[in-house]
């Protein structure tokens, strides 16, 4: 029975109707206040943060795209620079070879000039020596012939003819000896 008596009194689980109405009105006022004043601030802050994050992501994507573009541009410039360097090296190599060839040609031409000059000088000296020898041999031959004959052979024309004939015979004898020597060596070779 004590249980029944407790049921007749106010229930601790169910609030009074007046408390329930006051609570609902307070809740409605608080809800409208929060909805009008606080929630817009939350929404604006959320939108700003979302926009900031999206902008940051977008900026990061743009920066990455720009970095990729710059990297490709750098690689392209590097490839161009390498090909230009290779072309310059090849040009320098070709120019070096051309310079070397030109220097060789100039050296060969100079050597040919020096050789030709030396041959000409040798030929001139040989002719001078031959003239000098002819004169000396002529003088010696005339003097010797004059002593052998016992007469003076001072007549220039006669002495010149005798000397010339003697030298001609001497040269032909040397030429015959040279021809025989050449034939003898060629016969030995065969």
Tens-place pLDDT, residues 38-55: 999 999 999 999 988 888
Quick check: 74 pLDDT over 80? yes
89-107 average pLDDT score: 94
Q: Phi then psi for 166, rounded to 5 degrees?
A: -65, -45
Q: Phi then psi for 99, rounded to 5 degrees?
A: -65, -45
The pTM of this model reads 0.38
113-135 average pLDDT score: 88
The tokens for 75 are 């690689």
User: What pLDDT, on a 0 to 100 scale, did the predictor assign at position 2?
Assistant: 46
Query: What is the pLDDT confidence band of residue 187, given thresholds at 50, 70 and 90?
Result: low
Token pair 């009008």 is found at: 36
Q: Are 134 and 163 in contact (CB under 8 A)?
A: yes
CA distance 137 to 134: 5
User: What pLDDT, on a 0 to 100 scale, did the predictor assign at position 144?
Assistant: 74
User: What pLDDT, on a 0 to 100 scale, did the predictor assign at position 170?
Assistant: 77
Query: What is the pLDDT confidence band of residue 28, given thresholds at 50, 70 and 90?
Result: very high
- 16 Cβ neighbours under 8 A, 6+ residues apart: 10
- 159 Cβ neighbours under 8 A, 6+ residues apart: 138, 142, 153
- 142 Cβ neighbours under 8 A, 6+ residues apart: 153, 154, 159, 162, 163
DSSP class of residue 38? I
Quick check: 5 pLDDT over 60? no
CA distance 22 to 29: 10
């Amino acid at each position: 029975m004590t249980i029944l008596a407790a049921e007749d009194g106010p229930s601790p689980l169910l609030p009074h109707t007046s408390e329930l109405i006051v609570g609902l009105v307070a809740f409605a006022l608080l809800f409208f206040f929060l909805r009008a004043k606080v929630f817009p601030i939350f929404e604006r802050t959320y939108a700003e943060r979302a926009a900031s994050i999206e902008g940051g992501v977008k900026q990061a994507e743009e920066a990455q795209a720009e970095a990729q573009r710059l990297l490709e541009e750098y690689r392209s410039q590097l490839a161009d620079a390498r090909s230009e360097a290779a072309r310059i090296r090849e040009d320098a190599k070709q120019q070096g070879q051309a310079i070397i060839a030109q220097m060789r040609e100039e050296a060969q031409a100079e050597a040919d000039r020096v050789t030709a000059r030396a041959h000409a000088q040798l030929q001139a000296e040989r002719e001078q020596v031959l003239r000098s020898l002819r004169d000396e041999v002529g003088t010696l031959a005339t003097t010797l012939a004059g002593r052998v004959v016992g007469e003076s052979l001072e007549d220039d024309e006669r002495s010149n003819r005798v000397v010339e004939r003697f030298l001609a015979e001497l040269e032909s004898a040397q030429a015959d000896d040279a021809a025989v020597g050449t034939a003898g060596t060629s016969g030995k070779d065969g």
